Amino acid sequence: MNCTPSEAPCLKECPNDAIEVLGGAITINEEKCDKCKQCVDVCPIGAIHI
């Protein structure tokens, strides 16, 4: 809930479109996620842990 969807680098970085916006919150769709950790690398606040 720290990034706005329009500014969240993880949304743009995910090659599987596993990061989604639901009800204004950025969430990870575990069914789509292949645990490549690209989102972890670009998260400016370290909020993503896989």
Q: Where are the domains of the chain?
A: 1-50
Is 30:22 a contact under the CB 8 Å cutoff? no
Cα 41-43-44 angle, rounded to 5 deg: 115
Distance from C-alpha of 23 to C-alpha of 36, rounded to nearest angstrom: 25
Summarised one tens digit per residue, pLDDT across range 11-23 is 999 999 999 999 8
pLDDT along the chain (50 residues), means of 10: 84 95 92 96 91
- Note the pTM of the prediction, 2 decimals: 0.81
Thinking of the domain 1-50, which architecture would CATH place it in?
A: 2-Layer Sandwich (3.30)
3-state DSSP assignment of residue 6: coil
- Work out whether the CA dihedral 20, 23, 24, 27 comes out positive or negative: negative
